[in-house]
Amino acid sequence: MTPHWLSASEAARAFAARTLSPVELLTALLARIDALQPSLHAFIRLDAEAAMDAARSAERELGARRVRGPLHGIPVGVKDIIDVAGLPTTCHSAILRDNIAATDAAVIAKLRAAGAIVLGKTATHEFAIGGPSFDLPFPPARNPWNPDHHPGGSSSGSGAGVAAGLFPVALGTDTGGSVRNPASCCGIVGLKPTYGLVSRRGVFPLSYTLDHVGPLTRTVADAALMLDALAGHDPADPASAPTEARLFGRDLGRGVRRLRIGFVRHFHETDLPAHPEMTAALEEAARILAAEGADVRTITLPGLTEFGAVNRVILTSEAWSIHAPWLRTRPGDYGQLARRRLLPGAFIPAGDYVGAQRRRTQMIAAVEDAFRDVDILLCASSMDPASRIEDAAETARTYPRQARTPFNVTGHPALAMMAGLSRDGLPLSLQFVGRYFQDAMVLRAAAAYERATDWHTRRPQIG
């Protein structure tokens, strides 16, 4: 396998076997970036020189038999709302074009401690709330399966870069589905961990009570590897949970035999009827999981329309509290999409916000009640393949057609992954959801599905 398609786990094994070095891997990735960045726009800022210095250091340490951690020498892409010391955190916006981070975000410090190499800052939607926009300081990222289509967002460059072989793993953030959307559109794995499991210190906020940080990878094993490095209590993040959970990949080989999987069919059948190819992929996934020994049963949760309304009221209200000073004084420095999505927060009454939080508590109880009878949920992620990036009307229609926001509202761990290809050659997807802090169980189910199919071996024909 060419170096740029190696997973992080495979690269780490190659380093240990001395069949590949960190410098050789990074050199191959930089060549690939040089070839594909002009068409994919995955990066806002490539930090090639610092990355190569870090790769040389990692190589020397390997020669001295010193390994910092399981990600030693592994390059990672970082969504540009996450602070990396010495680099701009622009949030893909003119507002913060010159905002140089003084310190690393907590997740970057953890990745460095595990041996990872920061390759650069990846494209996002403006402040993680806009959409694919052409009126910003940097162009939007594009989908490596077909660059005429969008890659999902808002962690768009992270998703596109992992799918295109520009880096094996990346960081994104997820407030209404922004790790899982690019994973769905780009045919990779995107994990939104349990709320509070991963620190958000040093990440520019969108919604204090909905924000998560999570990994994007090409394999489930790499998602577990990344979560091992990222998870842990951070007293400087008020939402951080007092847990030191580790070994998230411990059950990847156990399969799904005798697991009770609740299939939330109404999400894609009646709430937001999915594209027929997406529906077929979900039904086939349920069949495969049953053939692997799972007890797949249909269950019902609150409807997507209500989940979406609760998410919008909370997100928009909290985002307004963050952006109000700039929106009052510098509205023209925002792109049109972000400005249009942020301004309604000024007109949401406090009573509506409180009411949404109260309904949120009831929705959490409903999902918790479902988990008394099942171990894992299976449901849609996106309802449609990715639209053409310049078709603003179709993108606006299809972007909200998804089943990711329920699990930002509730905070349960959720993973999106590839479940097929459309007739047009674009990825189809599914989603696994688990109980609080049972992220390892979600990864276990995803790994079983991954082994039973070959979708994770498919690669976009680009470059």
CATH number at residue 432: 3.90.1300.10
Specify the residue for token string 């990745």.
Answer: 111
Q: Distance between CA 436 and CA 444 in Å, rounded?
A: 15
200 domain residue, yes or no: yes
Asked whether residue 342 is domain-assigned, the answer is: yes
pLDDT in tens, 377-430: 999 999 999 999 999 999 999 999 999 999 999 999 999 999 999 999 999 999
Per-residue model confidence as pLDDT tens digits over 206-243: 999 999 999 999 999 999 999 999 999 999 999 999 98
Categorize the per-residue pLDDT at 245 as very low, low, confident or very high, splitting at 50, 70 and 90. Answer: confident
Structural contact between residues 191 and 98, judged by C-beta atoms closer than 8 angstroms: no
Active site residues: 79, 154, 178
pLDDT at 243 (0 to 100): 85
Pair 122, 170: CB distance under 8 Å: yes
What digits encode the pLDDT tens for the residues 278-324? Answer: 999 999 999 999 999 999 999 999 999 999 999 999 999 999 999 99
pLDDT digits over 117-147, tens only?
A: 999 999 999 999 989 999 999 999 999 999 9
Its sign, for the CA torsion 88, 90, 92, 94, is negative
Cα dist from 433 to 43, 78, 221, 274, whole Å: 30, 24, 17, 19
Phi, psi for residue 367 in degrees, rounded to 5: -70, -40
- What pLDDT is attached to residue 463? 76
Domain assignment present for residue 59? The answer is yes
Inside any domain, residue 428: yes
Domain for residue 152, yes or no? yes
- Is pLDDT above 90 for 355? yes
Q: What is the pLDDT of residue 151?
A: 98
Q: How many domains does the chain have?
A: 1
Confidence category of residue 246, pLDDT binned at 50, 70, 90: confident
76 token code pair: 């990672």
Helix axes 276-291, 439-452, angle to 10 degrees: 100
Question: Is residue 462 one of the residues assigned to a domain?
Answer: no
Q: Is there a domain that residue 463 lies in?
A: no
Q: Residue 225: enclosing H or E segment and its boundaries?
A: helix 220-230
Query: What is the Cα–Cα distance from 236 to 202, expressed in whole angstroms?
Result: 10
Range of the domain at 96: 3-457
Q: Tell the residue number behind the tokens 């190659």, with chain if given.
A: 14
Sign of CA dihedral 46, 50, 54, 56: positive
CB 106 within 8 A of CB 202: yes
Q: Three-state SS for 61?
A: helix
Give the three-class secondary structure for 133.
coil
Does 42 have pLDDT greater than 80? Answer: yes
Per-residue confidence (pLDDT) for residue 138, from 0 to 100 = 97
Over pLDDT 70: what percentage of the chain?
A: 100
Q: Is the pLDDT of residue 1 over 90?
A: no
Q: Is 434 helix (H, G, I), strand (E, B) or coil?
A: strand
Report the pLDDT averaged over residues 47-73. Answer: 96
Question: Which secondary structure element, helix H or strand E, spans residue 75, and what is its range?
Answer: strand 75-79
Task: State what percent of residues in the chain have pLDDT above 90.
Answer: 98
